[in-house]
Structure 1
Amino acid sequence: MIQRVFALVANSLLTIGKMTGLTYNEVNILVYYLLIPLSWTAMFDCWIGTPITSAALLLVWVGIFIGTRHTFGLWCDRTFQASVDFLNWFNRWGGNYVLNSVIICVLLPLLVYGFLIWILIK
């Protein structure tokens, strides 16, 4: 089951990369460091009634895009490798990269979405 979830996510990111001309690492970083957090901040901003956190995140990303305009792919490669290192850090407790990825990159975001949906409905 864990392998299937990992493969589904990885293949989806590869497909998006092929469709957009971006590398797997670039798509991964944009999805996990921009799009998912931006969706969270947008939901949070709806709850608090102001777009402040989304605006702050977008400003950070504008800075990243400007600062890496000629080296964005290289920056994504380095950031992706740091993410892999982070996920592998959890191996000391008996996990592996695939399991850690599914827990931290799939289950944890789903829990955050569940919580944010709950506070918006409540």
Structure 2
Amino acid sequence: MIKQIFSFVASSLSVIGRRTGLTYNEVNILVYYLLIPLSWSVMVDIWLGEPITSLTILLVWLGIWIGTRHLFREWCDWAFQGSVDLLNWFNRWGGNYTLNSVIICVLLPLIIYGFLIWLLI
């Protein structure tokens, strides 16, 4: 089951990359470091009634884009490798890259979405 979930997510990111002309690493970083956190921050901002966290994330990403616009692909490769290293760091507790990816990149975000949706309801 873990391998199937991992494969589905990785395949989906690859398809998005092919359709947008981005690399897998670029899509991965944009989804997990921009789109998912931005969606969470929008939900938090709705709950707070002010666009504080969303504006902060957008400003940070504007800075990243301006600072790396000619090297964005390389920056994404660097950031992706850092993510791989972090996921592999959890191997010390008996996991592996695939299991850690599913727990941290699929299960944890779903739990956070569930909590934020509960908060808004």
The letter of the residue matching 2:65 is F
CA distance in 2, matches of 1:89, 1:105: 14
Counterpart residue number, 2:21? 21
Give matches, 1:54-93, under 5 Å.
54-93=54-93
Q: Shift of the alpha carbon at 1:101?
A: 0.0
Whole-Å Cα distance in 1 between the matches of residues 56 and 92 of structure 2? 35
* 1:1-122 → structure 2 map (5 Å cutoff): 1-121=1-121
Structure 2 unaligned spans of 5+: none
For structure 1, the residue ranges without an aligned partner over 5 or more in a row are none
Q: Identity of aligned pairs, percent? A: 74
Q: CA deviation at 1:60?
A: 0.1
Opposite residue 5 of structure 2, the aligned amino acid is V
- CA distances 1:15-66 after superposition (whole Å, capped 9, x unpaired): 0000000000000000000000000000000000011100000000000000
2:113 and 2:103 mapped to 1: Cα distance? 14
User: Hey, what's the Cα distance between the residues in 1 that align with 2:19 and 2:42?
Assistant: 26
Counterpart CA distance in 1 for 2:92 and 2:54 is 35
- The C-alpha deviation readout for 1:75-122, integer Å capped at 9, x for no partner, is 00000000000000000010000000000000000000000000000x
Alignment partner of 1:22: what SS?
Answer: coil
Taking only aligned residues, the RMSD between alpha carbons, in angstroms, comes to: 0.3
